[in-house]
Chains A and B, each alone.
Chain A
Amino acid sequence: AQSVSQHNHHVILSEAASLELGCNYSYGGTVNLFWYVQYPGQHLQLLLKYFSGDPLVKGIKGFEAEFIKSKFSFNLRKPSVQWSDTAEYFCAVNGPYSGGYQKVTFGIGTKLQVIP
């Protein structure tokens, strides 16, 4: 079964600090990888995704993530965070297939608090 680990459950940063959120998954086959963001009181929305090609993926609002297949990792980064980045971030992985359906697994989420 697929599992997705997000190592940091709560991160507190000052504005302009750099951010890296870890995400590791267990399934060794072909996967599609996502980061979703949930701003306070809102629903989840896509930040970025990786299906194939360049393992360094750029998303909205200056976020990027790097897929390292050998490490089963898809870490999220941003060089300089802003107060408006305060949110909860979820890593998600599609795969493996079961019954013709590509199972989706979400990580537990990381709450990021940015202090002005």
Chain B
Amino acid sequence: NAGVTQTPKFRVLKTGQSMTLLCAQDMNHEYMYWYRQDPGMGLRLIHYSVGEGTTAKGEVPDGYNVSRLKKQNFLLGLESAAPSQTSVYFCASSYELGLAGAQTDTQYFGPGTRLTVL
């Protein structure tokens, strides 16, 4: 199993350009997440999905859009990149335990995408 993969690994954009980050998982996980990691701020949740066809906003959703058309893929889009979006982006996925209240288990992370917006 490849686990969680992300493409691309690195990208440099100019302000105003758009791009899409792709996350794929082969573990049949229901839940998928996009985080950004910035120095001194830890991991912040951008958007998440609790199943195919569903998405929801996290802590810092502004400037980003997501789609989950297939269970194994979770796309993160930047419509008009800004320098404030320079960051390392991590995708993760997890099981939903299926117990009462739908507990989320261990998150499996991808290798990250380092994005620089000039």
B interface SS class: strand
Expressed in whole angstroms, the Cα–Cα distance for A94 and B101 within the complex equals 12
Q: A43-B90, A43-B110, A101-B56 are in contact. Are A106 and B50 (CB under 8 A)?
A: no
B2 at the interface (CB under 8 A from A): no
For B35, the closest partner residue in chain A by CB is A106
Shortest CB–CB separation between residue B60 and chain A, in angstroms?
A: 13
Shortest CB–CB separation between residue B89 and chain A, in angstroms?
A: 11
For A48, the closest partner residue in chain B by CB is B106
| Residues from 14 to 73 in A contacting B, C-beta threshold 8 Å | 32, 34, 36, 42-46, 49, 51
Q: How many A-B residue pairs have CB under 8 A?
A: 58
| Residues from 73 to 104 in A contacting B, C-beta threshold 8 Å | 90, 92, 94, 97, 99-102, 104
Interface size class of B (residues with CB under 8 A): 20 to 34
* A43 and B56 contact, CB distance less than 8 A: no
* B109 and A106 contact, CB distance less than 8 A: no
* B43 and A101 contact, CB distance less than 8 A: no
Shortest CB–CB separation between residue B10 and chain A, in angstroms?
A: 13
On chain B, the residues within 8 Å of A46 by CB distance are 106-107
A interface SS class: strand
On chain B, the residues within 8 Å of A107 by CB distance are 42
* A108 and B106 contact, CB distance less than 8 A: no
B86 at the interface (CB under 8 A from A): no
Shortest CB–CB separation between residue B7 and chain A, in angstroms?
A: 14
* A43 and B109 contact, CB distance less than 8 A: yes
Sampled A-B contacts (6; CB under 8 Å): A36-B107, A94-B104, A99-B56, A106-B35, A106-B44, A109-B42
Q: Which residues of A contact B (CB under 8 A)?
A: 9, 32, 34, 36, 42-46, 49, 51, 90, 92, 94, 97, 99-102, 104, 106-109
Please provide the 4 A-B residue pairs with the shortest distance between their CB atoms, ordered closest to farther: A108-B42, A106-B43, A43-B109, A44-B109
Q: Which residues of B contact A (CB under 8 A)?
A: 33, 35, 40-45, 48, 50, 56, 90, 92, 101-107, 109-112
